[in-house]
Amino acid sequence: MRGLASRQQHDAERMYRYRVDVDVPHQGFGTRITDVIRWCEEHRGQGNWESHTHQTAGQRRMRYYFEDRDVAYAFATYTADLNSAFSERR
């Protein structure tokens, strides 16, 4: 199963231009994850969105992928309390 997840994440890196990395709190997202998923489903704009786990410098993160820049930036603002970071694939 890990191979499938790695392949799906690799595909998302190629397919989606905009990303938002969100730190996973040490205690987990709790019920906040429901709000985050609902936000993505309601505001996704053009096309779809995806999310995958992502780890950098020992910090576990969720990486959210979007096709629409404005939606990705709005999501980064929405999740700013979770130390989110917007980036764009070049």
Q: Residue ranges per domain, the chain?
A: 2-88
What is the model's pTM?
A: 0.85
Count CA within 13 A, CB hemisphere, residue 87: 11
Query: What's the CA gap between 74 and 78, in Å, rounded?
Result: 6
Low-confidence ranges of the chain (pLDDT < 70): 1-5, 45-47
What pLDDT sits at residue 2?
A: 54
**DSSP state string for 4-65:** HHHHHHHHHHHH-SEEEEEEPPTT--TTHHHHHHHHHHHH--SS-EEEEEEEETTEEEEEEE
Both structure tokens of 89: 């694939």
Whole-number pLDDT of residue 55:
80
Task: State the pLDDT at residue 79.
Answer: 95
CA distance 64 to 50: 6
| CATH of the structural domain 2-88, one choice from 3.30.70.260, 3.40.640.10, 3.40.50.12780, 3.40.50.11710 | 3.30.70.260
